[in-house]
């Protein structure tokens, strides 16, 4: 029992380290999109590991923790995708070292198509 | 076909009810089953997201395989981002590339997009019919074919079996 609690605490600690690295990533990355990348990934695994650690300390909570882990896995990528898409629509600039932006071309193509539809 | 959608929605609701209540008391289970069915009938009366789901043993097997691949990729992704973040020179090489998918079903595409977001250095920005726009933290190839090979293929081969 004691041993399980120690292992659980260590796993929770590992999760917190990932969350900390995610926070550092948020500060160090040069533009919104890279920040979203750092934020999403680190927070997903960090949260899962934290919950897994709590699971070992409190085995009775497994059902609720499983629900939490599933909702984190499903909602985290969706929210980061929506943030990135909204940022791109608003014209938030990409960092200077960016190599390509295929999505810009697609957006322009859609805008032109919409204009044509309106004029006809 | 509509019955299948409602059944799957009921089952998901019921599983969540059992997990949250953490009990096997028959009365609680009966209330949960009733509630799940009512909610599924109310909110899934016309939905068709689950009709593409294949309920075969092979699909179940591939779901577990896929979960395994996904978890490995998730851990790799985190280590990758963590190492980039703590390297003083910040080795990033970002860009937005487009890739193509063979998946036809909406559910399959959604899961593919979510998986791509949670794997090393890639973030799905938008999906347009069969083209996904992906922000890649370390662009290795700008070419559509090459990017598809590198980003999509490893998940697609499993999702194809599950959703077609």
Q: What digits encode the pLDDT tens for the residues B49-64?
A: 676 666 677 777 888 8
Residue B64 has phi, psi (to 5 degrees) of -70, -40
The pLDDT of residue A58 is above 90: no
Q: Of the candidates B78, B90, B96, which has its C-beta nearest A45's C-beta?
A: B78
Domain ranges of chain B: 2-43, 59-163
Test A41 with B137 for CB contact under 8 angstroms.
Answer: no
- B18 vs A: CB within 8 A: yes
Test B142 with A18 for CB contact under 8 angstroms.
Answer: no
Q: What is the pLDDT of residues A9-29, one digit of tens each?
A: 999 999 998 888 888 888 888
Q: What is the pLDDT of residues B4-18, one digit of tens each?
A: 778 888 888 898 888
* Residue from B63, B82, B146 to probe the interface with A (highest A Cβ count within 10 Å): B82
Q: What is the pLDDT of residues B78-131, one digit of tens each?
A: 888 888 888 877 777 777 888 888 777 777 788 888 888 887 778 888 887 778
Q: Across chain A, what does the average pLDDT equal?
A: 81
- Closest by alpha carbon to B118, among B161, B78, B66? B78
- Closest by alpha carbon to A36, among B96, B73, B131? B96
Contacting A residues, span 38-97, partner chain B, CB-CB under 8 Å: 38, 40-42, 44-46, 60-64, 66-67, 73-74, 76-78, 80-81, 84-85, 88, 94-95, 97
The pLDDT, as a whole number, for residue A12 is 92
The pLDDT of residue A72 is above 80: yes
- A16 vs B: CB within 8 A: no
ipTM comes to: 0.76
Q: What is the mean pLDDT of residues B46-51?
A: 71
The sheet carrying B131-136 orders its strands as B95-100, B131-136, B122-128
Determine if the pTM surpasses 0.90: no
Query: Beta partners for B97?
Result: B134
Alpha-carbon separation of residue B9 from A66, A78, B2, B48 (angstroms): 18, 20, 11, 10
């Amino acid at each position: 029992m004691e041993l399980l609690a120690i292992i659980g605490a260590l796993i929770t600690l590992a999760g917190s380290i990932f969350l900390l690295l995610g926070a550092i990533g948020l500060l160090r990355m040069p533009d919104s999109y890279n920040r979203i990348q750092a934020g999403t990934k680190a927070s997903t695994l960090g949260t899962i590991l934290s919950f897994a650690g709590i699971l070992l300390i409190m085995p009775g909570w497994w059902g609720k923790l499983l629900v939490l882990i599933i909702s984190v896995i499903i909602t985290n990528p969706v929210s980061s995708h929506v943030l990135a898409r909204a940022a791109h629509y608003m014209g938030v600039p990409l960092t200077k070292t960016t190599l390509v932006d295929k999505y810009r071309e697609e957006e322009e193509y859609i805008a032109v198509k919409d204009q044509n539809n309106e004029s006809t | 076909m509509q019955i299948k959608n409602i059944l799957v929605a009921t089952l998901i609701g019921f599983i969540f009810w059992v997990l949250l209540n953490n009990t096997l008391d028959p009365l609680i289970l009966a209330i949960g089953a009733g509630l799940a069915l009512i909610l599924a009938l109310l909110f899934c009366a016309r939905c068709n997201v689950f009709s593409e789901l294949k309920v075969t043993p092979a699909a179940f097997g591939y779901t577990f395989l896929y979960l395994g691949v996904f978890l490995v990729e998730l851990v790799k992704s985190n280590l990758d981002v963590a190492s980039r973040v703590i390297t003083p020179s910040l080795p990033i090489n970002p860009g937005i590339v487009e890739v193509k998918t063979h998946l036809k079903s909406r559910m399959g595409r959604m899961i593919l997009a979510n998986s791509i977001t949670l794997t090393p250095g890639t973030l799905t920005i938008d999906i347009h019919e069969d083209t996904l726009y992906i922000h890649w933290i370390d662009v290795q190839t700008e070419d559509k074919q090459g990017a598809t090979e590198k980003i999509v293929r490893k998940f697609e081969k499993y999702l194809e079996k599950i959703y077609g």
